[in-house]
Structure 1
Amino acid sequence: MNTPARPGGSLTLPGGTTVARLGVGCWPIGGPAHNLGMPMGWSTADDHQAIAGLDRAFDLGANLFDTADVYGHGHSEQLLGYVLSGVPRAEFAVTSKVGYYTEPGTDHAMDPAHLRRRLESTLQRLGVDHLDVYSLHNSNFGPDDTFLEGAVAALRGFQAEGLIRAVGIRGPHRFAPERLTTEPGQREDKHARFRRHFAAIRPDVLAVRDNLLTPPSATDGIREFSNAHAVTVIVNKALGQGLLTGKHTAAAPPTYADGDHRQRKAWFTDTALAVLSPHLDEIRRRFGDGPQTLPHAALAYCLRRWPGAVVLTGFTTTAQIEQNLTCDPARLTTDDLLFLADVGRRAQQALDSLGEVFTDEVAR
């Protein structure tokens, strides 16, 4: 049986597994959930579509799957484990994350004993004996980074035991509750915090949020930084959590059920969608008005902007898997890339003009 071409090309992860550069993000299939007093899931998920979509992803050559223990409080990992049970372990890579859920009775999510329990639970749900990448899901290590040293020691210990092959962290970002409890002028500079944590952790893999709606300041210098430190990059939210696919419109604004994180995000309101719409129309006029036009442009932009990185694409339906994993980044010319960057810049500025709440949602 011939192995299908790897969508987006291929690269080798730390630890030696060769993976497609278009990976599958499994947050949406976790379904609705609450955590830290706020909605943190996706109300549009369907288990049957999730399983069929994961199977189809393998057919199309995708073999890197990214999840986390907090996605549906383990449900995403369970669904993924069900599908992976029929696949030889050498044929796929699976990454997971820890730190956004704290078990009752635990002092802190980054406590070493808690990290071990969470890893063991993740491995059990996924039905694997090791993870290709295990990442710290946020930068909250307690006051004065109290739990940082212990967390680093724990993850490197897991690596020495063969339970994980690589340690990952996120690029500059904000812990979700920080946006609700701390005024913008009182927040620690996220870039300075990231560099401090990077120096302490020395990760093998770096997760970076980037898409056409991400302001340059959010990723300023991170490509050069990752190259200088020879870390593998995984780009997430390349489709803006669906905003860049054109499926959401101001004329028919989406509605989300309880437990959907989009309920609390200003950029999914009809006001923001109305501002974004003409910019998406510009992309359609240049590349065509088919159902694949917008997602392919957004994914190809990230694949070309981050050469040598994995770009994740989430899904809730098999049709979205078919649509996203057939993207060919080589079809974009240099002029196309410059055009998309310009459209994205103007869209960012238009959203910025709506006020701080919109700007903060897009920038994070």
Structure 2
Amino acid sequence: MNDHLAQRRLGRTGIVVPAVGVGCWAIGGPAENLGMPMGWSTADDDASAAGLRKAYELGARLFDTADVYGHGRSERLLGHLVSEVPRESLTLTSKVGYFAGTAEHGYHPGHMRRQLEQSLDNLRTDYLDVYFLHHPDFGPDDRWLHGAVEAMRSFRSQGLIRAVGMRGPHRYAPERLQVTGDRTDKIERFGRIFGQIQPEVLAVRDNLLTPASRLTGILELAAEHDCGVLFNKPLSQGLLTAATTSGRERNFGPGDHRSRKRWFTPDAKSIINQGIRDLQQVIGDDPTYLVAVALWACLTRFDDAAVLAGFTTADQVEQNLAALRMRPDDTHIAVARSIMSGVQQQLDGTGEVFVDEHR
């Protein structure tokens, strides 16, 4: 493992990883699930494979994927890397629940076992380091919750997984199409099922466009229970990089979730890009340092946390890992949070009619 990369311990799991891991959603390519686009149309398998190898070469050891990312495509691409390097050098995480296939529910225990077995085959390994429950919908009256928890504990006792993971408060994807300004139900539900699942690792969305209030209580709960934390979407899926300010509009093809997300519309991106330009007036225009500010803004929130940065090219991987070595000045992080908080408030006041989940 590269000694120059800052290391983090994921709570009571004892797993130690470089502070920046590799998110593998985007390399799954375009996909449809639950009647909506849920993939990325800009992926290329050759570029993805090159990016994964570059990440390992530069010291990345944490790789995060899910069964639904390209319906196995992401896992299979990552599996090629797994077959080429010592398995014990890697920390692999995957998720279950969003793809139900022909099962009655994504958390049917038998379906979960079959999906885990398929994920292990795809990844060319006989165990996962962390296996996440991918969403909080356990059916009417939480019909499938107890069975899902028991399945996870069974997987762990059998050595198929090392730790159980759970996502932080968020809405099940189909519910995001509904307009709501009330997060009370989401937070209350998270706290309630946390006690039943007893996760060892939490996956929590955070970036410079995330209001601090959205993390209230979550990190305290993680600390109280010695949970590791993986922050996802630290670059708001590319919106917080200097590359987005070029003025070139990208068209998203079929199966790309960004086509239904309001923060990828021209008006929203214009607001975000102006915020980035304002921030660059303070921190300079080095694009890697901008990424460093964004990543470390997450990492400074919690000691036992790593961030998961996605990619579609090897150059992006190289920039993300270079940014990890550039510990920004605390004043720059504070300024970034202040400026981008104002941007987030502008975005929330644009009057859009559906909910965005990039924050």
Give yes or no for the alignment of 1:174 onto 2:171. Answer: yes
Distance change (3 Å), C-alpha of 1:295 and 1:109: same
Shift of 1:15: 4.6
With structure 2 as the length reference, what TM-score do the two structures score? Answer: 0.95
Shift of 1:286: 1.9
The match for 1:243 is 239
SS of the counterpart of 1:326? helix
Looking at structure 1, the residues matched to 231 and 182 of structure 2 have their Cα atoms a distance apart, in angstroms, of 28
The match for 2:141 is 144
The match for 2:252 is 256
The match for 2:152 is 155
With structure 1 as the length reference, what TM-score do the two structures score? Answer: 0.94
Shift of 1:333: 2.4
**Which of the residues 106, 119, 125 maps onto 1:128?**
125
Structure 1 gap ranges (5+): none
**Which of the residues 261, 280, 283 maps onto 1:287?**
283
Looking at structure 1, the residues matched to 105 and 159 of structure 2 have their Cα atoms a distance apart, in angstroms, of 25
Looking at structure 1, the residues matched to 182 and 19 of structure 2 have their Cα atoms a distance apart, in angstroms, of 38
Structure 2 gap ranges (5+): none
Shift of 1:137: 0.2
Shift of 1:275: 1.1
Identity of aligned residues (%): 50
Distance change (3 Å), C-alpha of 1:250 and 1:18: closer
The match for 2:98 is 100
Looking at structure 1, the residues matched to 232 and 38 of structure 2 have their Cα atoms a distance apart, in angstroms, of 16
SS of the counterpart of 2:111? helix
Q: Letter of the aligned partner of 1:108 in structure 2? A: H
Give yes or no for the alignment of 1:303 onto 2:291. Answer: no
The match for 2:38 is 40
Cα shift readout 1:72-111 (whole Å, capped 9, x = no counterpart): 000000000011101111111100000000112x111001
Distance change (3 Å), C-alpha of 1:12 and 1:207: closer
Q: Letter of the aligned partner of 1:21 in structure 2? A: A
Of stretches 290-299 and 166-175 in structure 1, the one that deviates more from structure 2 is 290-299
Looking at structure 1, the residues matched to 314 and 11 of structure 2 have their Cα atoms a distance apart, in angstroms, of 26
Shift of 1:287: 2.0
Looking at structure 1, the residues matched to 252 and 23 of structure 2 have their Cα atoms a distance apart, in angstroms, of 20
Distance change (3 Å), C-alpha of 1:206 and 1:136: same
The match for 2:344 is 348
Looking at structure 2, the residues matched to 6 and 64 of structure 1 have their Cα atoms a distance apart, in angstroms, of 15
Distance change (3 Å), C-alpha of 1:9 and 1:134: same
Runs of 4+ with >6 A deviation:
185-188
What are the residue-to-residue correspondences of 1:4-15 with 2, within 5 Å?
4-5=2-3, 7-11=5-9, 14-15=12-13
Looking at structure 2, the residues matched to 229 and 213 of structure 1 have their Cα atoms a distance apart, in angstroms, of 27
The match for 1:18 is 16
Asked whether the 8 Å contact 1:234–1:310 carries over to 2, the reply is: yes
Looking at structure 1, the residues matched to 357 and 68 of structure 2 have their Cα atoms a distance apart, in angstroms, of 22
Of stretches 301-310 and 36-45 in structure 1, the one that deviates more from structure 2 is 301-310
Q: Letter of the aligned partner of 2:118 in structure 1? A: S
Shift of 1:183: 4.8
Shift of 1:250: 8.2
Asked whether the 8 Å contact 1:32–1:259 carries over to 2, the reply is: yes
Looking at structure 2, the residues matched to 311 and 320 of structure 1 have their Cα atoms a distance apart, in angstroms, of 15
Aligned residues: 359
Distance change (3 Å), C-alpha of 1:28 and 1:239: same
Cα RMSD (Å): 1.8
Q: Letter of the aligned partner of 1:361 in structure 2? A: D
The match for 1:332 is 328
Asked whether the 8 Å contact 2:11–2:304 carries over to 1, the reply is: no
Looking at structure 2, the residues matched to 192 and 95 of structure 1 have their Cα atoms a distance apart, in angstroms, of 26
Distance change (3 Å), C-alpha of 1:54 and 1:363: closer
The match for 2:68 is 70
The match for 1:54 is 52
Shift of 1:185: 6.8
**Which of the residues 21, 27, 30 maps onto 1:29?**
27
Cα shift readout 1:95-144 (whole Å, capped 9, x = no counterpart): 0000000112x111001001000000000000100000000000000011
Cα shift readout 1:167-192 (whole Å, capped 9, x = no counterpart): 00000000010123x45279871000
SS of the counterpart of 1:280? helix
Looking at structure 1, the residues matched to 97 and 39 of structure 2 have their Cα atoms a distance apart, in angstroms, of 16
Distance change (3 Å), C-alpha of 1:177 and 1:335: same
Distance change (3 Å), C-alpha of 1:60 and 1:157: same
Looking at structure 1, the residues matched to 240 and 179 of structure 2 have their Cα atoms a distance apart, in angstroms, of 29
Looking at structure 1, the residues matched to 301 and 14 of structure 2 have their Cα atoms a distance apart, in angstroms, of 24
Give yes or no for the alignment of 1:361 onto 2:356. Answer: yes
Give yes or no for the alignment of 1:225 onto 2:221. Answer: yes
Distance change (3 Å), C-alpha of 1:212 and 1:123: same
Looking at structure 2, the residues matched to 293 and 334 of structure 1 have their Cα atoms a distance apart, in angstroms, of 13
